[in-house]
């Protein structure tokens, strides 16, 4: 019996760490064979032989570039279809390869060589940086790293920040050289920079009081000079890691990758001097959505200036004695 035709229009998609392949139905085929490799010119292994014209690869490793092709079969096997490839990621994540592909599709420049691969990758990273900065600036606690602890030496008033430091969230002081009794430090006004030049009473047995900080280059400066063996707890937002390889994943921006795709497409189309008004409007809508949803990331407990109590809590469920229970909160 003659082999059936080669499967056409093989389409590949990835999501949730899985890979979905679809292809056109082939008349006369009793089943199909799906082959996979981690090298486009390497050895392909038979992955499955489904009876219908789709297959879900549930055993793909994350951040690995996989190549696939499909054949149709009855008593004989057809030649291989075109090779397709993708990089599996978790839900909400996207690899540099997928971000670039989607941006090219959005700009309708999939097969255009006017924008080089290097330029596309640069656009993706520029858009990624822009989104990251927008998120960590707009959201109060979007991507705060585990606090960095510094021990003072009693002599220095400036201490280096961690190498991945990007933005400062806050600084705490451990009382009595302790890591379980913290007080929040405030930033000093620039005009107060020489406040403690001359000897003054600035400490107790618990250490320095009225301690203030200020960012100076890549260090934190404190006035007055902290006592020795005190702990400083630094809350900060880390630098974003640039995407270099196709398998690199855009982290820290889950749910907002559409911004990267749209903005990178705008940058590519601007190089061609094409009309970007529709994409620009979409970008502004995305920014507005980010700002509107950034009021508080922790929707279970919105931020307040201070804790409050309702009158019912203050006076009892039904308000003050003799009241009618109609009192609201204050």
pLDDT of 179 over the 90 cut: no
Quick one: 154 and 208 in the same domain?
A: yes
Instruction: Give the residue, 178 or 310, on which the prediction is more confident.
Output: 178
Condensed to tens digits (0 to 9), the pLDDT of residues 223-259 reads 988 888 889 999 999 999 999 999 999 987 878 999 9
pTM score, whole prediction: 0.78
In this prediction, residue 329 carries a pLDDT of: 39
Distance (Å, whole) CA 203 – CA 224: 9
Task: State what percent of residues in the chain have pLDDT above 70.
Answer: 84
Quick one: 206 and 63 in the same domain?
A: no
Residue 309 included in any domain: no
Quick one: 154 and 188 in the same domain?
A: yes
Residue 243 included in any domain: no
Within 10 angstroms of residue 196's Cβ, the number of other Cβ atoms is 19
Residue 78 included in any domain: yes
In this prediction, residue 19 carries a pLDDT of: 97
Residue 269 included in any domain: yes
Quick one: 195 and 221 in the same domain?
A: yes
Mean pLDDT of the chain: 87
Answer whether 218's CB lies under 8 Å from 106's CB: no
In this prediction, residue 325 carries a pLDDT of: 47
Beta-carbon contacts of 138 under 8 Å, excluding residues fewer than 6 positions away, are 290, 291, 294
Domain span at residue 288 reads 96-140+252-293
Quick one: 155 and 220 in the same domain?
A: yes
- Residue 40, helix vs strand vs coil: coil
Distance (Å, whole) CA 143 – CA 243: 18
């Amino acid at each position: 019996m003659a082999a059936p035709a080669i499967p056409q229009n093989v389409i590949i998609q990835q999501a949730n760490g899985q890979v979905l392949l679809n292809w056109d139905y082939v008349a006369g085929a009793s089943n199909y064979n799906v082959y996979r490799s981690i090298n486009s010119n390497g050895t392909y292994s038979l992955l499955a032989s489904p009876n219908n014209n789709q297959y879900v690869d549930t055993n793909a490793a994350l951040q690995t570039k996989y190549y696939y092709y499909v054949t149709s079969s009855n008593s004989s096997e057809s030649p291989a279809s075109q090779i397709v490839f993708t990089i599996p990621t978790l839900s909400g994540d996207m690899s540099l390869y997928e971000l670039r592909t989607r941006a090219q599709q959005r700009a309708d420049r999939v097969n255009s060589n006017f924008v080089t691969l290097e330029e596309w990758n640069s656009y993706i990273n520029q858009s990624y940086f822009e989104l990251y900065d927008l998120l960590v600036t707009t959201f109060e606690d979007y991507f705060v790293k585990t606090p960095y602890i510094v021990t003072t030496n009693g002599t220095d008033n400036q201490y280096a920040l961690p190498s991945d430091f990007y933005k400062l969230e806050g600084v705490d002081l451990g009382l009595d050289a302790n890591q379980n009794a913290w007080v929040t430090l405030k930033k000093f006004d620039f005009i107060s920079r020489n406040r403690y030049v001359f000897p003054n009473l600035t400490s107790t047995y618990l250490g320095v009081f009225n301690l203030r900080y200020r960012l100076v280059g890549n260090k934190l400066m404190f006035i007055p000079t902290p006592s020795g063996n005190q702990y400083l707890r630094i809350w900060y937002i880390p630098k974003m890691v640039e995407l270099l390889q196709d398998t690199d994943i855009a982290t820290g921006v889950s749910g907002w990758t559409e911004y990267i795709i749209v903005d990178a497409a705008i940058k590519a189309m601007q190089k061609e001097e094409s009309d970007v008004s529709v994409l620009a409007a979409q970008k502004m809508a995305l920014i507005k959505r980010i700002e509107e949803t950034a009021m508080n990331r922790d929707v279970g407990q919105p931020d307040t200036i201070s804790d409050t109590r309702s009158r019912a809590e203050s006076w009892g469920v039904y308000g003050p004695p003799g009241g009618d229970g109609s009192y609201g909160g204050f």
